[in-house]
Amino acid sequence: MNRRRFLQTLTFASLGAAGGCGLSLEDGLWNPCLSDEIPDVLLQHEVVRAAWEGVDPTKCWDCHVHIAGIGDGNTGVWMSSDMQSLWHPQRDLQRRFYLNAACSEREAHVDEDFVARLLQQVDAFPRGAKFMLLAFDYYYDETGACREDRSSFYVPDGYAAKLARSRVDRFEWICSVHPYRVDAIDALEWAAKQGARAVKWLPSAMGIDPASPKCDRFYETLIRLRLPLLSHTGKEAAVDGADDELNNPLRLRRALDQGVRVIAAHCASIGTYLDLDRKPHAASVESFTLFTRLMEEPRYQGRLFGELSALTQGNRMGSPLNSLLARADWHARLINGSDYPLPGVIPLFSPDRLVAQGYLTDIQAQILRQIRRYNPLLFDFLLKRCLRRHGAGFAPISFESRRLFDTAV
Ligand SMILES: [Zn+2]
């Protein structure tokens, strides 16, 4: 295999892990990271104007914005050496994709450039729109011991809080606290005092079983502090994890039944899991079917929400996306998140296929792909606003998520 073929194969293997099949090369592999302002002909285009129609930007809080880095900015951010090692070429390439997505590839300036690029992108949104920065806790084992050796990356609560304070007009933040930590309750209270608006978990990557009685005190505290739980649901491949079963949406019943408001990230859109409701004869069932079952239960009205990041990736077109577009009765329970920087991983999205399958018009795809060259974050928002299936799109309320987090409104 020649070098180019080898790189391409490796790329597909590494992104395949993040995006599954359905990768697209129509716009090349890499984010061009154009740094000029987006030309007015694009920003003022009818496609863009129409996308904002009916949406109040001051209520638009993107609830899923990662902060990445490698810790070269004295930020406390940490990344597993597997992701920076020649011995793990696939992981290393994956890391390159994420950093390219965020245009933070300069040696020794990764953390700094990540934030600068993010700010440049958020400032292209109308005034009032905000972005919720995610902290990311370590993997902890059953004994409550922190296991760096099983973690992929770490973003301290303190760093997310500090960034949020640096631009209160644009940022909010979401803490990440592992429920098995001995200091979990103190850490939650600290975060709430620092203005955290929710808690983020990625169960498989952090070693959290949301169905464990060990989470009960944590759930009580969430209710007392009025913090919702944003938990990853469905198969996770972007971050290494021990046990994908932990991402089974049914495991969140324990939190829901106690009264915690739960946001199921990605609406559990890929994977299959044990149908724990049918124990002891649990069969494997599509993850999205399990999510649907939870959404249909009247007692979870006003308590369970679905989050829209990753749903427009090439590998998720079809069933989950179509159902979500068609379920107008759910739209007030769906909220937008971008999963930034993933919208900047170019092969994960295929405007051509979105056109071929009738989700976008040609002209929309043209405008969106040009905007993506400058601003993948804006691309992500506009794409979700443009999508139509049999004439139906997501309602404006799916993008006005502030109401979930800001208890003052
Ligand atoms: Zn994410």
Q: How far is the CA of 59 from the centre of ligand 1 (A)?
A: 21
DSSP reduced 3-state for 200: strand
Q: How far is the CA of 66 from the centre of ligand 1 (A)?
A: 6
**pLDDT tens by residue, 99-111:** 999 999 998 999 9
Say if residue 150's pLDDT is above 50: yes
Residue 11 lies in a domain: no
State CA 296 to chain mean position distance: 23
Q: How far is the CA of 239 from the centre of ligand 1 (A)?
A: 9
**Which of 90-94, 191-195, 360-364 has the least mean pLDDT?**
90-94
How many CA atoms are closer than 13 Å to the CA of 154, on its beta-carbon side? Answer: 21
Name the maximum alpha-carbon separation found in the chain: 60
Split at pLDDT 50, 70, 90, the class of 409 is low
Q: How far is the CA of 145 from the centre of ligand 1 (A)?
A: 24
Instruction: For residue 390, give the nearest of 320, 328, 326, 330 by alpha carbon.
Output: 326
Say if residue 148's pLDDT is above 80: yes
Looking at residue 222, its pLDDT comes to: 98
Q: Which helix (H) or strand (E) holds 157?
A: helix 157-166
Q: How far is the CA of 327 from the centre of ligand 1 (A)?
A: 24
- Whose structure tokens read 């009960």? 216
Residue 51 lies in a domain: no
Residue 37 lies in a domain: no
**pLDDT tens by residue, 374-393:** 999 999 999 999 999 999 99
Q: How far is the CA of 238 from the centre of ligand 1 (A)?
A: 8
Looking at residue 249, its pLDDT comes to: 98
Q: Buried (b) or exposed (e) across 142-160, using 16+ Cβ within 10 A? A: eeeebeeebbbbbbbbebb
Q: How far is the CA of 383 from the centre of ligand 1 (A)?
A: 18
Amino acid making up residue 105: E
> Peptide bond before 210: cis, by omega within 30 degrees of 0?
no
* Mean pLDDT to the nearest integer, 162-166: 97
The total number of structural domains that make up the chain: 1
Beta bridge partners of 263: 230, 305
Looking at residue 3, its pLDDT comes to: 44
- Whose structure tokens read 């794409």? 383
What number of H helices and E strands is found in the chain?
16, 12
**How far is the C-alpha of 314 from the C-alpha of 10, rounded, in Å?**
19
DSSP reduced 3-state for 291: helix
Instruction: For residue 325, give the nearest of 316, 175, 250 by alpha carbon.
Output: 316
Q: How far is the CA of 41 from the centre of ligand 1 (A)?
A: 32
Q: How far is the CA of 38 from the centre of ligand 1 (A)?
A: 26
* Mean pLDDT to the nearest integer, 81-109: 85
- Whose structure tokens read 């990625």? 202
Q: How far is the CA of 220 from the centre of ligand 1 (A)?
A: 25
Looking at residue 104, its pLDDT comes to: 92
Q: How far is the CA of 8 from the centre of ligand 1 (A)?
A: 25
Q: How far is the CA of 322 from the centre of ligand 1 (A)?
A: 22
Looking at residue 6, its pLDDT comes to: 44
- What CATH code is carried by the domain that includes residue 238? 3.20.20.140
Q: How far is the CA of 280 from the centre of ligand 1 (A)?
A: 32
% of residues, the chain, pLDDT over 90: 82
Q: How far is the CA of 211 from the centre of ligand 1 (A)?
A: 21
- DSSP 8-class letter at 195: T
Looking at residue 237, its pLDDT comes to: 66
Q: How far is the CA of 339 from the centre of ligand 1 (A)?
A: 5
Q: Which domain holds residue 152?
A: 57-349+395-405
**How far is the C-alpha of 37 from the C-alpha of 43, rounded, in Å?**
10
Residue 381 lies in a domain: no
Q: Buried (b) or exposed (e) across 370-402, using 16+ Cβ within 10 A? A: bbbbbbbbbbbbbbbbbbeeeeebbebbbbbbb
Q: Which residue has the higher pLDDT, 55 or 317?
A: 55
Residue 25 lies in a domain: no
Q: How far is the CA of 353 from the centre of ligand 1 (A)?
A: 24
**pLDDT tens by residue, 196-242:** 999 999 999 999 999 999 999 999 999 999 999 999 999 986 665 56
**How far is the C-alpha of 379 from the C-alpha of 404, rounded, in Å?**
24
**How far is the C-alpha of 375 from the C-alpha of 151, rounded, in Å?**
30
**pLDDT tens by residue, 316-355:** 888 899 999 999 999 999 999 999 999 999 999 999 999 9
Q: How far is the CA of 348 from the centre of ligand 1 (A)?
A: 14
Residue 324 lies in a domain: yes
Q: How far is the CA of 64 from the centre of ligand 1 (A)?
A: 6
Residue 361 lies in a domain: no
Say if residue 124's pLDDT is above 70: yes
**How far is the C-alpha of 256 from the C-alpha of 267, rounded, in Å?**
15
Q: Which residues are within 5 Å of ligand 1 (an ion), measured at CB?
A: 339
Reading the block at residue 385, the tokens are 């606003």
Say if residue 176's pLDDT is above 50: yes
Split at pLDDT 50, 70, 90, the class of 83 is confident
Q: How far is the CA of 6 from the centre of ligand 1 (A)?
A: 28
Global pTM reads 0.94
